[in-house]
């Protein structure tokens, strides 16, 4: 197989973009935005807590998806000769 320089360049750019996106999501997973429920209680505080937990779960799922895409893109890059 003859390496296609344009394909290799595009795959390298995609790897770089995915790595930046993964770093952003990883940071959000580690420190998701929170609203303190200190000083208030009841249904609104409970809803906020549930929303925070759900957000963290969704961020983790997004991070896992980016990792899979990054691995697949790196595999394509290796097969393309890059």
Domain ranges of the chain: 5-80
C-alpha distance across the termini of the chain, in Å? 12
Predicted confidence (pLDDT) per residue in 4-36, tens digit: 889 999 999 999 999 999 998 888 877 766 666
DSSP character at residue 1 = -
Alpha-carbon span 70 to 44, nearest angstrom: 38
d(CA 78, CA 58): 30
**What pLDDT shows up at residue 34?**
65
More confident residue, 47 or 35: 47
**Worst-scoring range by mean pLDDT, 3-17, 38-52, 64-78?**
38-52
Average pLDDT over residues 68-82: 91
Can you give the pTM of this predicted structure?
Answer: 0.73
> Would you say residue 1 has pLDDT above 80?
no
Among 56, 66, 54, 57, smallest CA distance to 23 is for 66
């Amino acid at each position: 197989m003859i390496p296609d320089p344009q394909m290799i360049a595009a795959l390298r750019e995609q790897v770089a973009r995915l790595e930046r996106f993964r770093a952003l999501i990883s940071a959000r997973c580690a420190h998701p935005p929170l609203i303190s429920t200190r000083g208030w209680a009841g249904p609104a505080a409970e809803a906020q807590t549930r929303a925070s937990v759900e957000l963290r779960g969704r961020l983790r799922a997004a991070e896992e998806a980016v990792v899979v895409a990054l691995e697949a893109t790196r595999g394509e890059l290796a097969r393309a000769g890059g």
